[in-house]
Amino acid sequence: MKIIVLLRRLIGPPGRPEPGLLGACEAAALRAAVRLQAACPGSSLTALAVGPPRDDAALAPAAALGARTVRLWNLALEGADYDAYARAIAATCRLLKYDLVLCGERSAEEGLGVIGPATAEHLGIPHLSAACDIAWQPSGRLRVERGEGTAARRLEAAPPLLVTVAASCAVGERLAPAGAGGPVELFDLDKIGLLPEELRHRQRFEGTVIAPPRPRAEILPDVATLAQKLRESR
């Protein structure tokens, strides 16, 4: 079984300190990928990041766990929207070969939840989103449980498949601090068969980030006052 996990380094807002390495969803996806690899002997794990050199750090935890690590970058992706990234990821996955692609359900910064499903679309494979539990079935199919509002739902599908993993997914062990791992392989667009022109136009669809003046929270004196406010807001 060839497993690919998509990782990306957290990006902080302008002028703020660097946040942690991985978002909660990406960390959960990596934990799940390691567990699924271990549960299927003979499987391989590749961690893939699409980003500039700073994203090598996001691959370090996977490298320390023995995963092959690949980073793809081209300036045509700078400021491009989800679709350019999904196309690039899909093309890289095809090159690497895969049975299962895992990624975080949504990034902590943007929270769109779009990269996984869009990548599945460009790969032409089914996707399951927001997995909070994930395991192989004896049949070789993958069982995924997801929360749906106030309920839960259990689904299964056979690879090839893409699964987005929720931050609440508790599958796998806590990630150890990054140790030594193999070198990161660097891919460019020509290696995956894409041209910059195919992606660059998507920079128009990403919108503009601004920092509007924001009112600060109303500081309440105690929990009882908050409870009262919550009752009033119903």
For another protein, the closer of residues 176 and 180 by Cβ is: 176
Half-sphere exposure of 151 (CA within 13 A, CB side): 2
- 190-219 residues in contact with another protein (CB under 8 A) are 204-212, 214, 216-219
CA angle (38 as vertex; 35, 39 as ends), nearest 5? 85
Dist CA 77 CA 54 (whole Å): 15
Q: In this chain, which stretch among 43-51, 71-79, 148-156, 172-180 interacts with another protein, using CB under 8 A?
A: 148-156
Q: Is 19 in the site for another protein (CB under 8 A)?
A: yes
Considering beta carbons, is residue 151 or 180 the nearer one to another protein? Answer: 151
Query: 10 Å Cβ neighbour count for 166?
Result: 23
Site string for another protein, 162-181 (x = CB under 8 A): -----x--------------
Decide: is 79 part of the binding site for another protein (CB under 8 A): no
120 binds another protein, rule: CB under 8 A? yes
Is residue 7 within 8 Å of residue 30, measured between CB atoms? yes
Would you count residue 140 as binding another protein (CB under 8 A)? no
The smaller minimum CB distance to another protein, of residues 68 and 108, is found at 108
DSSP string over 1-58? -EEEEE--B--PPTTS----SB-HHHHHHHHHHHHHHHTSTT-EEEEEEESSGGGHHH
CB 150 to another protein: min, Å: 5
Binding-site member from 110, 173, 188, 190 for another protein (CB under 8 A): 110
